[in-house]
A and B are shown apart, each in its own frame.
Chain A
Amino acid sequence: MEKKLPKIEIIEKYCKGCHICVEFCPTKVLEMQGFVAAVKNLEACIKCMQCELRCPDFAIKVITE
């Protein structure tokens, strides 16, 4: 069965580039592109929501369904 991938929405206007989401993602889904976070490897996402939970700037949303 094909794995259902979530949609990771990053609001660039809100992102201040603190690196928290990139650093604490257990499967290294995110990376920094310039000053803002971006999705690098969506396939690895385990939907743990840690990036959404820890983003201090309300800039990440993990939409699972």
Chain B
Amino acid sequence: MAFNYEKWLRPGKLPHIWCPGCGHGIVMKGLIRAFETLQLKKEDTALVSGIGCASRLPGYIDCCTLHTAHGRAAAFATGVKMAKPEMNVILVGGDGDGTAIGGNHFIHACRRNIDMTYIILNNYIYGMTGGQFSPCTPTGHKASTTPYGNPDPGFDIAKLAIGAGATFVARGTAFHANQIDKLIVEAIQHKGFSVVEILDDCPTTYGRRNKYKSVIEMMNRLKEVAVPVKAAEKMTAEQLQGKVLTGVLYKEEKAHYTDEYAKVIERAQAAK
């Protein structure tokens, strides 16, 4: 049976602003399916975003939403979580918003292990502002500000999150649409800071500068590079060259900030 997305969409907002073939819409559908699977209540769910193409996502979804300053989604979301610890706080943003402009907030949210879920839609570029290179643009690839190829190595968001202290890290792609909602469900259920990186395509500002002829070619690339974690165990280092692991990459049960802060409040009140 066709899935009823309308329940979670603000009426009259479609069609959305994303370009033809942009995978952000596929991720938004995955997010709605995850909300439905978890039977979340609209009044108990906060969707927080910064600025960018991906950050437009909360505008379409009918729940508590917050569209904040560029890169500051994690800071605002921390405020929401501290004020209302019972709320499910989900952050959405792009790679530039999350790892460059909001890099500081991102690593510290990971370090605190605050009980939130960060969905990073990695399309390797700053799409909305005109195709400037982001920290995730691969070496040698072109952007509007690197017309002769990007000399920098790109960030591995998953490794960055694990290194900074996030306790749940997963990766999916916009091509593997039926995996997206499963990863998001697991991430929301996890107590602690969860990061879900979704590899995405940007046919308008990234694809046409890097000789991708069509959306289909970009989608096929996502299909080719993705290797599930379990399949990768049986593969050699040579076979894994140029591939990207998908699935749940890291999971750890650890004390999380919201609980720890509640204990601080208790101690402070007892000391009075």
Query: A54 within 8 Å of B by Cβ?
Result: yes
Query: A13 within 8 Å of B by Cβ?
Result: yes
Q: Given contacts A18-B21, A52-B2, are A57 and B15 in contact (CB under 8 A)?
A: yes
| B interface residues (Cβ-Cβ under 8 A, vs A) | 1-3, 5, 9, 14-16, 18-26, 29, 175, 177-178, 214-216, 219
Query: A43 within 8 Å of B by Cβ?
Result: no
Q: Which of A24, A53, A63 has the largest count of B CB atoms less than 10 A from its CB?
A: A53
Interchain CB contact (< 8 A) of B26 among A14, A19, A56: A56
| Inter-chain contact B20/A16, CB cutoff 8 Å | yes
Q: Given contacts A18-B20, A56-B25, A56-B26, are A65 and B1 in contact (CB under 8 A)?
A: yes
The closest CB in chain B to the CB of A18 belongs to B21
The closest CB in chain A to the CB of B5 belongs to A58
The closest CB in chain B to the CB of A35 belongs to B20
The contact sample of 16 A-B pairs, CB cut-off 8 A, is A13-B15, A14-B14, A16-B20, A19-B21, A19-B214, A50-B177, A52-B3, A53-B29, A55-B29, A56-B29, A57-B16, A58-B5, A58-B29, A61-B2, A62-B2, A65-B1
Cα separation A62 to B26 with both chains bound (whole Å): 16
Q: Which of A14, A23, A57 has the largest count of B CB atoms less than 10 A from its CB?
A: A57
B215 to chain A, nearest CB (A): 5
A52 contacts across to B, CB distance below 8 A = 2-3
| Inter-chain contact B216/A20, CB cutoff 8 Å | yes
B24 contacts across to A, CB distance below 8 A = 56
A61 contacts across to B, CB distance below 8 A = 2
A62 contacts across to B, CB distance below 8 A = 2
Cα separation A9 to B4 with both chains bound (whole Å): 13
A23 contacts across to B, CB distance below 8 A = 216, 219
Cα separation A39 to B68 with both chains bound (whole Å): 41
A52 to chain B, nearest CB (A): 6
Ranked nearest first, the 4 interchain pairs of A and B with the lowest CB-CB distance are: A56-B25, A18-B21, A16-B20, A61-B2
| Inter-chain contact A58/B25, CB cutoff 8 Å | yes
The closest CB in chain B to the CB of A50 belongs to B177
A55 contacts across to B, CB distance below 8 A = 25-26, 29
A34 to chain B, nearest CB (A): 14
